[in-house]
Amino acid sequence: MPDERSRPPLVSFVSAGPGAADLITLRGLQRLQRARVVLFDALTDPALRDHAPKARWIDVGKRGFCDSMRQAHINALLVQWATREHGVVRLKGGDAGIFGRLEEEIEALQAAGIPYEVVPGVTAALAAAAAAGRPLTRRGRGRSVALTTAVATDARGQPVLRSGRSADTEVFYMAGRQLAALGRRLQAAGWPDDTAVMVVSRAGCADQLVSDHRLHGLAAAAVLHSGRPTVVTVGVGAQALGQARASADCPTPAGLNLHHEVSIIADNSAAGAASTPA
């Protein structure tokens, strides 16, 4: 059997999943357990350290609207450690390929001739849907899902709010500080005022919080989810089970709401029965 140090350097991009440590995949856990160096993101569960106690852990996390490490520096660190150590893990929250800056980091490794692998994982959109016990797709009426980062940057590096209507269900990441403005933009994009909207903060964590809204009242969610990483689901996938089917079978009279404007579905502090951890 060849000595481990004779093997070429390999970087594993491991998707930690959102929230709790046990949302990581079995393959991701295996890669983490044999890691010698772990470059980890801000929202990965600190409990994952228990699975690689002898590894060197390096914080390269980014948080929106906060000072954080530049991407070029992260790329350089990744290449630096991969050329010095066998068993480098780049630990990313959620799924590494969904808004995880994976492309830039892979390109840096390719330029340096360093082999890598990507271990997929659970993304926040799926954890948010699981928190409420609602499928993002629905048979016969919810056939498409779009994942969008709510805030992007323009050519000058300034934040720009993005919204649209390109699928039956739209899921917006990183929307927590922009809920009121997002609601207005979605209405302008053609979503009806009474469109179902589900807001989930800290999806997959023990204290995940889920709330239901109508699009015209989305601003009310800002107080409920203030200061927490937030995912916003709009359209068919946000509807409570049976709601869309009942509406199709028996249209609701004008002016009659089937749901309260804001209803808290779950504060999962006890990982309770009302919701399912993603």
The CATH number covering residue 248 comes to 3.30.950.10
User: Does residue 24 sit in helix, strand or coil?
Assistant: coil
d(CA 37, CA 271): 32
Enzyme catalytic residues: 41, 62, 174
User: Which band of pLDDT confidence, cut at 50, 70 and 90, is reported for residue 156?
Assistant: low
d(CA 88, CA 11): 5
Cβ atoms 60, 79 nearer than 8 A: no
Residues 102, 33, single domain; the answer is yes
* Domains held by the chain: number: 2
Mean pLDDT of 6-18: 83
pLDDT digits (tens, 9 = 90+) for 176-185: 888 999 999 9
pLDDT digits (tens, 9 = 90+) for 194-208: 999 999 999 999 999
pLDDT digits (tens, 9 = 90+) for 25-62: 999 999 999 999 999 998 899 999 999 999 999 999 87
Lowest pLDDT segment from 77-86, 90-99, 142-151, 246-255? 246-255
Domain boundaries, position 62: 4-119
d(CA 122, CA 18): 7
pLDDT reported for residue 102: 96
User: Which band of pLDDT confidence, cut at 50, 70 and 90, is reported for residue 67?
Assistant: low
Residues 33, 83, single domain; the answer is yes
The residue out of 119, 140, 173 marking a domain boundary is 119
Residues of the chain with pLDDT > 90, as a percent, come to: 67
Mean pLDDT of 82-107: 95
Residues 54, 102, single domain; the answer is yes
27 belongs to a structural domain: yes
Residues 37, 70, single domain; the answer is yes
pLDDT, averaged across the chain: 83
| 40: amino acid identity, one letter | F
The residue out of 70, 100, 119 marking a domain boundary is 119
Residues 21, 140, single domain; the answer is no
The CATH number that applies at residue 90 is 3.40.1010.10
The residue out of 119, 141, 172 marking a domain boundary is 119
d(CA 220, CA 214): 10
Residues 153, 263, single domain; the answer is yes
